[in-house]
Amino acid sequence: MGDFNSMLFPHDGFGGSSRRNIDMSDFFACVEDVEIFDMQYTGVHFSWNQKPNSVGGIMRKLDRAMANAEFTTKFHDATVHFHPAGLSDHSPVVLSFKGGLRKTRCGFKFDNFMAEHPDFLKIVKEEWSTYVEGTFMFKVTSHLKALKVPLRRLRNTFGNLGKRVSFLKIELDRVQLDFDKNPCNAELGLELGHLCLAYQSACWDAECAAKQRAKVKWLN
């Protein structure tokens, strides 16, 4: 946190040359190497100015508050605000914590059986095609954070796996008994086939979820 004396991106400059130079390339490579990124902030963007005039003068974003994924996970209530520079050439930056009990935030995770759903890859591809500007790690964490909601919505479509298996087993038993009494009933035969596939799929999902929970418990 502080004055890095170099821009990170071309849009961090107004007036003068904003093209990527050696300093920017070295700064960007360093940030990528140590896997840190800008914390979300409010306030002014250009934190440094030189000879402001009627057309703005030269302005740069040289001051930054950066962190890694471990810090933002542990201190998720941290806020950053860049205040107007006033008479100084640099804008003061304040890093604040709301304080109090910090709830542990869950990392990115999903049930493995969801990967077999036809919409899974479509959802992931759609989010990953969204443009995010920043360092490599910032892009990854931003995409993962954005994927939580649509994947949670997809998971809800499966409902309670245990209840789903029990319900389908009862229905399967009922139809099998009815079909045994009337094997010429084509409608019952079709329903039986659909129920067999649904029950098999539900059992596989429940087994996959149980294996995943057991593995997580064993690793812990």
Both 170 and 96 in one domain: the answer is no
CA 93 from centre of chain:
27
111, burial (CB in 10 Å: exposed 0-12, middle 13-18, buried 19+) = middle
Q: What is the CATH number of the domain that holds 64?
A: 3.60.10.10
Domain contains 182? yes
Both 17 and 84 in one domain: the answer is yes
Domain contains 68? yes
Residue 3: phi, psi to the nearest 5? -90, 115
Domain contains 135? no
Q: What percent of the chain has pLDDT over 70?
A: 91
Least confident span in 79-93, 104-118, 203-217: 104-118
Structural domains of the chain, count: 2
Q: Which residue has the higher pLDDT, 15 or 123?
A: 123
Tens digit of pLDDT for each residue in 41-63? 888 888 888 765 555 578 888 99
What is the structure's pLDDT at 122?
A: 93
Domain contains 54? yes
Both 13 and 94 in one domain: the answer is yes
Domain contains 127? no
Which of 211, 199, 116 is CA-nearest to residue 155?
116
What is the structure's pLDDT at 106?
A: 63
* Cα dihedral 118, 215, 166, 204 sign: positive
To which H or E segment does residue 79 belong?
strand 78-82
Predicted confidence band of residue 88 (pLDDT cuts 50, 70, 90): confident
Residue entry with tokens 């071309």 = 10
Residues 3-18, mean pLDDT to the nearest whole number = 80
What is the structure's pLDDT at 203?
A: 92
Domain contains 122? no
Least confident span in 68-72, 104-108, 151-155: 104-108
Residue 105 above 70 pLDDT? no
Both 81 and 172 in one domain: the answer is no
Q: Domain end: 59, 86, 101, which one?
A: 101
Q: Domain residues for 92?
A: 1-101
Both 5 and 90 in one domain: the answer is yes
What is the structure's pLDDT at 149?
A: 87
Domain contains 129? no
